[in-house]
Amino acid sequence: MKWRNWVALGLTGAAAVAVISFFPSTPSSTPQQNASYTSKSNNSKSPVPSPAQEQQLKQSMLKRDVIATERLSRLDAKGHLRSLAIELGNMSAQQQKSFISNMQKDHKHFQSIFWVDIPSGKEQQFRRPQFKTTALEQKQLGTYISFARKALTQSKSYESPSFPEDDPKYFVAAEPTSNHKHGVIAVMDATILNRVKDHQNKNLRLIPYPKEGKYKVESIHADTLRDMTVKTGHDNENASHYYENEIVVVFEQNPSAHEMKQIESEINCKPPRRIANTYIFQSKDKSMEQMKQYFTAKWKPKYIEPHYLYMTNETDVLNDGTVEIPNDVLFEEYQWNLPIIETNRGWNLTKGNNDVIVAVVDTGVDLNHPDLQGRLLPGYNAVAPDDKPMDDVGHGTHVAGIISANVNNHEGIAGMMWGGKILPVKALDSSGSGTSYSVAEGIIWAADHGAQVINLSLGNYADANFLHEAIKYAYDRDIVIVAATGNDNTERPGYPAAYPEVLSVSATDTNLGRASFSNYGDYIDVMAPGESIASTYPDNQYAALSGTSMASPHVAALAALIRSINPTLKNTEVMDIIRNNVIDLGEKGRDKYFGYGQIDVYSALQAAGGAGSPLQFWPQFYQRKINKILEGR
């Protein structure tokens, strides 16, 4: 089945999702308005919305993500309840209690579960101790549970609307057993909807982010480096954020221990953090500007810059043209993003190799998510080095799932890789932002611990030398580095995506147009799906998120698949294969709105070759073989 057929299937699912929204809606754009923003594959230009139009489009996208997440949650709950009904039917009362108690520890969104004996009307409730409701919520809960009981007596499934209506927290679902003698009712936590809403307000820059004043954060104009105040989400495209009492310094010659004590005394700071010859000083009473004047006048450093913040932007070969359709519950209805880039056909060439490691430098990853079990390596927490890289935001877990969620396990979503490992590196804190130090440290750590691909779904508009050095460190170690361009609908280059060592990724929609929020410019390499992408989310849940942050891991996964099918390729060769084997969009060849085009997994894997090296890289391939022979003498 071609990707065009799959797009139609995916759009049908999206249409079904839109029917059950329980959130207040805002006026939608007219068809004429929508047409003016949509860029098909044969369009030569990608119109750029005004700030007001961009805001409206982003609000619409946010609403769509929340609606899709709600539908994902309900579909996932239905699948769990059907399995639960079968398992509980074969257990004693004590076994049921123990089983559900353990389940609710890992699946906190199952707030209360009822096991119902339909003929007698008897039931047993298993309620999480933390489950508390208001009087109004309890009244609504009682009404919907009574509707669920009635549905079970008629051997029917049941789903309530989310409630309370103005601030959805719960919904009730019920599933009968196949023999119609028993049934399961569950009170499901729906607060993931508000979490996704808050997450996407930041991710799509619908609000000023991060808030100035928190952790002494200030903003500067990315061009002039003059102070500015970010009042609206749209202001983010001109702003770069930094810690106003910290500074990054690289000395021509590292200070001696005596000189370092002198510096600490004169700027009133603790011993600085250090990576190689780069130091980060944090003063108790001096601003970044004051420290800049101090170091420039007294120590003549090699370079000096603010400590910038970075923010979130997860055998035999069959060549008969068939596609493999995994049995993951959410795949057929919601994962339009994989067929449209020919992932299913690509799986006929390779499904990935467990020897290939992809580092996700992000907010961490939910280390306990069932759809990521067996895929995660021990990682690193650059924010709190003594802690595990557990995700406290959701962003990194979502990115990791796009790359390598378990496939064909009748659970949730399918990742792009059946094999392959994720190396989780937490460089962004619970606010979803991190410093150039933590991001650089995360990149260097990943490079030193086996990463062959690094995904960076984060960015800033300031070109930080400190971060660039870390990027070059990884690049020089033959690592493919992939980064998201940003969600501000601006031509301004974002970093690290705009560094020449990085494969930069912007986002497309279901129509192969540039996503309304996606950044653009001459530095863009390729495009990948980035609207309402279904993936894993903390607490064993699933969410649909939009952003170039979601587009980037598609490309990182493709790089890992290429390195699976042909481990001899260098990072530059992998990057060239991805750029040169695309679905061309916009103007013929490379353009600033679509780069080289949208990635084509099947074509790229074909170009990478299987048993040997692809034809275009034979000279390099044989040169390396000769070098190895000579080295062995």
What is the rounded CA–CA span in Å between residue 537 and residue 65?
Answer: 13
Looking at residue 193, its pLDDT comes to: 84
Checking if the pLDDT of 329 tops 90, the result is no
Looking at residue 241, its pLDDT comes to: 56
Checking if the pLDDT of 564 tops 90, the result is yes
- pLDDT band (50, 70, 90) for residue 629: low
Sign of CA dihedral 3, 5, 8, 13: negative
Checking if the pLDDT of 40 tops 60, the result is no
Looking at residue 165, its pLDDT comes to: 81
381 phi and psi, to 5 degrees? Answer: -115, 105
More confident residue, 248 or 223: 248
Judged by DSSP in three states, 377 sits in: coil
Question: What is the mean pLDDT of the segment spanning 254-259?
Answer: 90
Checking if the pLDDT of 18 tops 80, the result is no
The segment with the largest mean pLDDT, out of 169-178, 291-300, 546-555, is 546-555
Catalytic residue among 369, 395, 398, 468: 395
Is the backbone of residue 450 left (phi > 0), alpha (psi -120 to 50) or beta? left
Q: Which residues, 6 or more positions from 298, have their beta carbon under 8 angstroms from its beta carbon?
A: none
The segment with the largest mean pLDDT, out of 104-118, 301-315, 491-505, is 491-505
More confident residue, 319 or 149: 149
Looking at residue 228, its pLDDT comes to: 42
Q: Which residues pair with 88 in a beta bridge?
A: none
**Closest alpha carbon to 276 in 447, 426, 424:** 447
Residue 395 appears among annotated catalytic residues: yes
Segment 202-230, tens digit of pLDDT: 666 655 545 544 434 444 444 443 444 43
- pLDDT band (50, 70, 90) for residue 46: low
Edge to edge, the sheet with strand 380-381 lists 380-381, 421-426, 357-362, 453-456, 480-484, 502-508, 526-529, 598-599, 582-583
Residue 180 appears among annotated catalytic residues: no
Spatial contact of 171 and 188, defined as CB atoms under 8 Å apart: yes
Q: For 168-182, 183-197, 211-225, which range has the lowest pLDDT when averaged over its residues?
A: 211-225
Segment 304-317, tens digit of pLDDT: 888 766 656 533 33
Looking at residue 333, its pLDDT comes to: 85
- pLDDT band (50, 70, 90) for residue 436: confident
Q: Record the pTM.
A: 0.70
Segment 158-169, tens digit of pLDDT: 999 888 887 888
Checking if the pLDDT of 22 tops 80, the result is no
- pLDDT band (50, 70, 90) for residue 627: low
What is the rounded CA–CA span in Å between residue 522 and residue 514?
Answer: 15
Catalytic residue among 39, 433, 546, 549: 549
What is the rounded CA–CA span in Å between residue 579 and residue 295?
Answer: 43
Catalytic residue among 189, 362, 509, 525: 362
- pLDDT band (50, 70, 90) for residue 35: very low
Looking at residue 75, its pLDDT comes to: 87
Q: Calculate what percentage of the chain has a pLDDT beyond 90.
A: 52
76 phi and psi, to 5 degrees? Answer: -65, -40
Residue 504 appears among annotated catalytic residues: no
Q: Which residues, 6 or more positions from 544, have their beta carbon under 8 angstroms from its beta carbon?
A: 64, 65, 68, 69, 72, 196, 334, 532, 533, 534, 535
Question: What is the mean pLDDT of the segment spanning 137-144?
Answer: 92
Looking at residue 79, its pLDDT comes to: 86
More confident residue, 566 or 27: 566
Segment 364-401, tens digit of pLDDT: 999 999 999 999 999 999 999 999 999 999 999 999 99
Query: Domains (ranges, CATH) in the chain?
Result: 70-195 (3.30.450), 207-312 (3.30.70.80), 331-622 (3.40.50.200)
Looking at residue 224, its pLDDT comes to: 42
Checking if the pLDDT of 504 tops 80, the result is yes
What is the rounded CA–CA span in Å between residue 599 and residue 233?
Answer: 29
Checking if the pLDDT of 613 tops 70, the result is no
Half-sphere exposure of 251 (CA within 13 A, CB side): 18
**Closest alpha carbon to 72 in 13, 27, 23:** 13
Checking if the pLDDT of 80 tops 90, the result is no
**Which amino acid belongs to residue 466?**
F
Q: For 46-55, 81-90, 383-392, 576-585, which range has the lowest pLDDT when averaged over its residues?
A: 46-55
More confident residue, 430 or 218: 430
Checking if the pLDDT of 42 tops 70, the result is no
Average model confidence (pLDDT) across the chain: 81
Cα-based angle 456, 457, 462 (whole degrees, multiple of 5) = 80
